[in-house]
Amino acid sequence: MTAAPQEIERGSDARPTSRVGVIGVGGMGACHARNIADIAGAEVTWVADPDAAAGQALANELGTRWVADGNEMIDDCDALVVACPEEYHSGYVLAAVDRGLPVLCEKPLTVELAEARAIVDAETARGARVVQVGFMRQYDERHVQVANALTSLGEVNHVRCIHRNTKSTPRPVLEILVTSMVHDIHTVRWLSQSEIVSVSTSTVHRDGVPRMVVLSCRLDNGGVASIEFDEAATGYEVSVEVSAQDGNVLAAEPHRALIRNRGAVSSKIGDDWFSPFLDTYRIEMRDWLASIVAGEARGPSAWDGLAAQSVATAAAASEISGHSEAVTLPDRPAIYQGDHS
């Protein structure tokens, strides 16, 4: 984990045309498909979803074709976006790896750790990366500013992630870890350029449901990290602060109007996780399409997916055992050396 943090690449359109199939037309799939349609040099050739009404509607909007089963269109695509429910990720990603097709897979890479390992093994056997995982904080301007500042601040000693979610339907801790906190786990690894070697989980339950999940992590560079997650906060917010040998860096506040009224200053926090990152998803897509043209996968890798998931799994074990749990990872294969995280 030695490579410099990634620069946001703006305005580089993918050429020649990449024919992309998008699997899953829910919120993220539709967002990715519309972003692809807006980028010159790329086109959505297929959308796939068992929901015929939603699939057909998106296909009509984008002037493309819909199919219920994504497996039927893979061989007619140059690249795939996998944004269907998590339990189906691994089948599609393995099919893409098998064909050497570039694939952008939403996080989490898989639900089961063994499936993430199988993807890393398959990619390693091919000898080259084709998988990018949707850890999009790596393309978010506020996070990239932190990463860039860290290049001149020396070894990272402490990463503090704050993630305030606004979910009203209760979820088990494991689901919170695997589908939401996995972002922060990746942020810690990426910004510290270190692996998390052990994790201890503390959960606050209110009215019998998990409300706060706090992870204390040890890093293999000798540093530590804390991830503070609120499942039902009053507004959606994500932030990060890093203390390093030669200084400290805190993510900028999102741009929000300051409202002065009745003798007080306030600003509105939105309550959805999507709108704060609309630009970020566009930048992520642009960079992924450009990487296809360049012929080299370069964003968050299947290894990052496996590592983040291994931490989430250890954190879930710690929630049950009440102790710190070691994170076990195989040796990092050569194809993932020198990645961004």
Which one of residues 179, 203, 216, 243 is an interface residue with ligand ISE (CB under 6 A)? 179
Identify which range of 97-105, 115-123, 177-185, 263-271 contacts ligand ISE by CB under 6 A.
177-185
Q: How far apart are CA 91 and CA 110, in angstroms?
A: 9
Q: Cβ neighbours of residue 275 under 8 Å, at least 6 residues apart?
A: none
Nearer to ligand ISE, 107 or 218 (CB): 107
Identify which range of 35-43, 179-187, 285-293, 295-303 contacts ligand ISE by CB under 6 A.
179-187
Binding track over 273-312 against ligand ISE, x by CB under 6 A: x---------------------------------------
Which one of residues 129, 143, 183, 186 is an interface residue with ligand ISE (CB under 6 A)? 183
Identify which range of 83-91, 178-186, 280-288, 303-311 contacts ligand ISE by CB under 6 A.
178-186
229 counts as binding ligand ISE under rule CB under 6 A: no
Smallest distance, Å, CB 307 to ligand ISE? 18
239 counts as binding ligand ISE under rule CB under 6 A: no
User: If DSSP states are collapsed to H, E and C, what string results for 226-280?
Assistant: EEEEECEEEEEEEEEEEEECCEEEECCCCCCCCEEECCEEECCCCCCCCHHHHHH
165 counts as binding ligand ISE under rule CB under 6 A: yes
Residues 130-163: b if buried by 16+ CB within 10 A, e if exposed: bbbbbbbbbbbebbbbbbebbeebeebbbbbbbb
Helix axes of 27-38 and 278-294: crossing angle, nearest 10 degrees: 60
Smallest distance, Å, CB 127 to ligand ISE? 31
The DSSP bridge pattern shows strands 79-82 and 65-67 to be unpaired
Smallest distance, Å, CB 236 to ligand ISE? 7
Question: Which residue minimizes CB distance to ligand ISE?
Answer: 180
Which one of residues 6, 132, 157, 180 is an interface residue with ligand ISE (CB under 6 A)? 180
CA 46 to chain centre: 23
**What tokens were used for 252?**
């900028």
CA angle, 259 as apex, 257 and 261 as ends, to 5°? 175
Residue count of the chain: 341
Smallest distance, Å, CB 161 to ligand ISE? 11
**What tokens were used for 160?**
């503090």
Residues that bind ligand ISE (CB under 6 A): 165, 179-180, 183, 273
